[in-house]
Structures are given as C-alpha cells and as structure tokens.
C-alpha cells in the first residue's frame, strides 16, 4: 500500500509536468459520423480516433455540456457532448491509447468569454451561492466517479471553459459585464475541490486546469484568481488564435506562458488554437476563422503546419506543457448547427474537402511529436528509447533497476539491467508509459513515452 501511495503522489510530476503534449479536441467526431461523414486516409475509410492516435495525438480534449437539450430541435434530435456521448468518446480515445482531458463547460451550451450561462437545472439557485456551490461540487464529483466506475476517468480536467468573466452566470448577469470575485472564488474552489476529491477517492491522479482566453488578458486574470484564493489547480490553460488575439504573435504568446509559469509556479498549456488551410468553404455554414497571420500567409496546409510547429516550439521553449488543436475533425456534413447547415470549421481541419486526411498540415505536426521523452534531472540522459527496435537503452556505468508503469501507477515490468544494457518492450504496451531507471551508483531518472 505504501508503494502504491508513493506512485500516486509522484505520477502527476513525472507525467504531466515533463511531457510536451500535442493533442486535439475531437468533441464533434461522434456527431459527424452520425451525420454520415466517413473519415479517410489515402482514400480508404479509417476510424478517426485510430487515425489521430497513429499520427501522434497524445491527448484528446472533450467538452461536456450539462444538458444540451437544444439538440432535440436539430437533425435527428440526438444529444451530443452530454454525459453519454462523452462516455463514448472517452472510451474511443482510451482504446486508441490516448489520454483524455475533460472540459466541463458548466453550461447547457457553449461557454466562452462572452457567454457563461448557468445550466437551466440550476437557474433556481443561481443567486444562492452556497446552494449553487453544492450543485457544482456534486455535479463534477459525481460525473468523475461515474466515469471512474466504468474505467473511463480522464487524466486531466478543466473547470470551466474560457472563464475570463467567471462561471455560472444568470441571464441578467450574462447580458452585462460582471466580475463577482467573492462568488467566483467560492464556485471555482468548489469545482476544483471536487476534482481533488475524485482523485483521492479513486486513488488515481487527475490533473486540474483553469482556462483563460487570450494571452493578452491572461496576466491580470491569473493575478486576480490568485488574489481571490483560487490556487489549488495544476495548470493554467490558454486559448490563442491569431484571428481573435492579433496582434499577439507566437513569441508574445510564449512570453506570456513563461511569465505565468514563473510567477505562479503552475504548468501552462495551450488548450485551444486553430489555423486555416484555405479561405474557401465546403458548405453553406459561415466559417468562424477567416484570417491568417502575415508570417503564415497564404492559407495552406503547409502554413497550418508551420504555425503549429513554430507555436509548439516557442511554447515548449518557454516551459509550456503542450499545444492542443480545436476541432481538427469538424468537417462538412449534411447536418445543421443552430447557425447554419454544415461545419463552421472545415477550412481549419486536418482533412481536405473530401474528408481525406491531409498528409501535411496538422497531421504532419502531430507526427513530429510522436515520441516525447524527458528526464527528471538535468545532464546526460541515462535512458533513451530506440523506436526502431522498440527498446529502452540504458547508458549508465553501474547496474540498475528498470520499472515500467502505466499512467495509473500500475507496474508493467521490473527488471535488472547491466551497464549499457537494453530492455525490449512488449508490442502489447500502448499509449503513454513511464520508464524509471534506478542505477546502483547514480540518481534515478524517468522518461515518458508515447507508444503505438
């Protein structure tokens, strides 16, 4: 039991703080497939979750709405991004070997810097902060525990989506600018405590995130969070799109990442970005992104790739923990949104207008991040991963003990290695794993690997 507890406490540091994630929000995939979309690679049908995993996606972000009843008047009337749909998506992501970040929007529909409406089910207590706090806590905690009971607990959770103006607002407050920080602090802390309690009771680590839109706004917002006692979280997440956050450049964004990490001693991750590969459309729905940076012009798959490559390099050099792309699979379909028929993002996906995976663009960016390995200590690495021979190479000068763990801390393998020895990994080992080496005459080191 003691060793289990030690692994549980160390895992968030080893995995989350040191691996640089390249990921994607795939919330629309189930809906697109139900609308008749067939995703393809090289012209042949392919499961999109398998495709993204094989191309190097490490982390899948999924939004959760409280009760999106408005879907009942659209298309077939089936609900998406509710609990049942999210369960299906998590299962698909985990089966493909990817980690999951669950995005609690804390609303029945889109939550963003301009809209943070309380779920209709809680409207009766929206002005009673203590009762609303209890509703929020119970919702987050019970959701996570139900997922855990099915073996679907997400590795990461964000409490709120682009919460620049707070969360859980009444219609009256949402119609005007309001920042009730004593109320916000009570609510955010309740949601974050629910995440901590779910991690404690499930005995599995859950990485907690707050989410702010616009690097230009993040500094004062993070300071206000801290001054009001919202500190029990692991990372600050940012949204950064050129179209909405210009003239902030990639380097400006990276400087914000560096400053936030140093000032608040939190991890920093880009939760959302996007970049178009064409100004054309493939349906009647207006596209939401129609601008490109002068440095990445004209729109093309290659410039989409360059944007993501340069952003990732800058964020990683600044100490950030990852970059996630928003809805790279929201292609055109015959279904409608509340605003039009088709997709509002097909010109910024990783697919062409025939739903065939583009070889360049975003998938090229994912492929370049396929194997991520970092060490717990500075200096020469004692272990490296040989992707050709699927083995761990040990470079130490003394015998050592090697341990291989899953994300949940389960021991997969234990062996002794001689100096300059190697360990062949089983082909059945998939997804993110932690390799720890304990030399007899040197400090322990670990690497995090994405295996597929």
- Distance between CA 337 and CA 28 in Å, rounded? 11
* pLDDT of res. 427: 67
Residue 380 is predicted with a pLDDT of 57
Question: What fold, for 1-18+372-452?
Answer: Immunoglobulin-like (2.60.40)
Alpha carbons 376 and 235: distance in angstroms, whole number: 19
CA distances from 273 to 157, 231, 280, 326 (A): 18, 25, 20, 6
Predicted pLDDT of residue 408: 65
Reduced to 3 DSSP states, what percent helix, strand and coil does the chain have, rounded to the nearest 5?
A: 35, 20, 40
What pLDDT does residue 377 have?
32
- Residue 389: the pLDDT is 66
pLDDT at 379: 44
Give just the sign of the alpha carbon dihedral 268, 380, 8, 451: positive
pTM (predicted TM-score): 0.81
CATH 2.60.40.3080 residue window(s) in the chain? 1-18+372-452
CATH 3.90.180.10 fits 20-368, yes or no: no
DSSP summary character for residue 111: -
Instruction: Give span(s): CATH 3.20.20.80, the chain.
Output: 20-368
For residue 423, what are the CA distances in angstroms to 15, 373, 375, 445? 21, 16, 18, 16
Q: How far is CA 294 from CA 243, 279, 300, 331, in A?
A: 11, 14, 13, 26
Contacts of 69 (CB under 8 A, 6+ apart): 79, 108, 120
CA contacts within 13 A on the Cβ side of 10:
16
Contact 104, 61 (CB under 8 A): no
List residues with catalytic annotation.
162, 272
Q: Give the distance from CA 29 to its chain's centroid.
A: 16
Rounded Cα distance, 127 and 171, in Å:
11
Mean pLDDT in consecutive groups of 10 residues from the start of the chain, 452 residues: 32 45 97 98 97 96 98 95 98 96 98 97 97 98 98 97 96 90 96 96 92 97 97 96 96 98 96 98 97 97 98 96 97 96 98 96 92 40 73 86 80 88 79 82 73 63
Half-sphere exposure of 300 (CA within 13 A, CB side): 9
Query: Tell me, what's the pLDDT at 392?
Result: 87
**How many residues can be counted in the chain?**
452
Instruction: Label the pairing between strands 59-64 and 99-104.
Output: parallel
Q: Are 89 and 327 in contact (CB under 8 A)?
A: no
């Amino acid at each position: 039991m003691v060793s289990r507890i030690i692994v549980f406490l160390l895992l968030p540091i080893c995995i989350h703080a040191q691996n640089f994630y390249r990921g994607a929000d795939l919330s629309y995939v189930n809906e697109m497939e139900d609308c008749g979309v067939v995703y393809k690679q090289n012209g042949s049908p392919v499961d999109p979750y398998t495709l993204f995993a094989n191309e190097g996606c490490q982390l899948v972000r999924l939004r959760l709405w409280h009760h999106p009843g408005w879907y009942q008047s659209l298309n077939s009337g089936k609900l998406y991004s509710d609990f049942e749909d999210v369960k299906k998506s998590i299962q698909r992501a985990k089966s493909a070997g990817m980690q999951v970040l669950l995005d609690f929007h804390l609303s029945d529909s889109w939550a963003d810097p301009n809209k943070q409406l309380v779920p209709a089910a809680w409207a009766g207590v929206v002005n009673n902060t203590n009762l609303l706090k209890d509703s929020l806590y119970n919702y987050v905690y019970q959701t996570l525990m139900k997922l855990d009971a099915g073996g679907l607990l997400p590795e990461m959770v964000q409490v709120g989506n682009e919460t620049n103006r707070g969360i859980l607002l009444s219609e009256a407050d949402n119609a005007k600018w309001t920042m009730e920080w004593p109320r916000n602090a009570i609510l955010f802390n309740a949601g974050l405590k629910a995440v901590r309690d779910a991690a404690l009771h499930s005995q599995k680590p859950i990485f907690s995130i707050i989410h702010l839109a616009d690097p230009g706004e993040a500094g004062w917002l993070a300071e206000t969070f801290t001054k009001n006692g919202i500190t029990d979280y692991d990372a600050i997440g940012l949204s950064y799109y050129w179209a909405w956050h210009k003239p902030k450049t990639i380097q400006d964004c990276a400087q914000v990442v560096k400053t936030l990490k140093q000032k608040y001693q939190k991890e920093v991750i880009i939760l959302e970005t996007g970049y178009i590969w064409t100004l054309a459309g493939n349906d009647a729905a207006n596209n939401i992104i129609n601008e490109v940076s002068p440095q990445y012009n004209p729109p093309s798959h290659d410039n989409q790739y360059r944007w993501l490559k340069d952003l990732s390099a800058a964020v990683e050099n600044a100490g950030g923990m990852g970059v996630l792309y928003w809805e790279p699979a929201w292609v055109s379909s015959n279904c409608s949104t509340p605003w039009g028929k088709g997709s509002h993002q097909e010109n910024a996906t990783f697919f062409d207008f025939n739903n065939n995976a583009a070889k360049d663009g975003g998938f090229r960016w994912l492929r370049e991040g396929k194997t991520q390995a970092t060490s717990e200590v500075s200096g020469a690495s004692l272990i490296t991963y040989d992707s050709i021979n699927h083995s761990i190479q040990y470079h130490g000068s003394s015998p050592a003990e090697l341990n291989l763990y899953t994300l949940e801390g389960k021991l997969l393998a234990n062996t002794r290695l001689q100096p300059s020895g190697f360990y062949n990994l089983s082909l059945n080992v998939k997804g993110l794993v932690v390799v720890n080496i304990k030399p007899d005459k040197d400090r322990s080191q670990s690497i995090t690997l994405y295996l597929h």
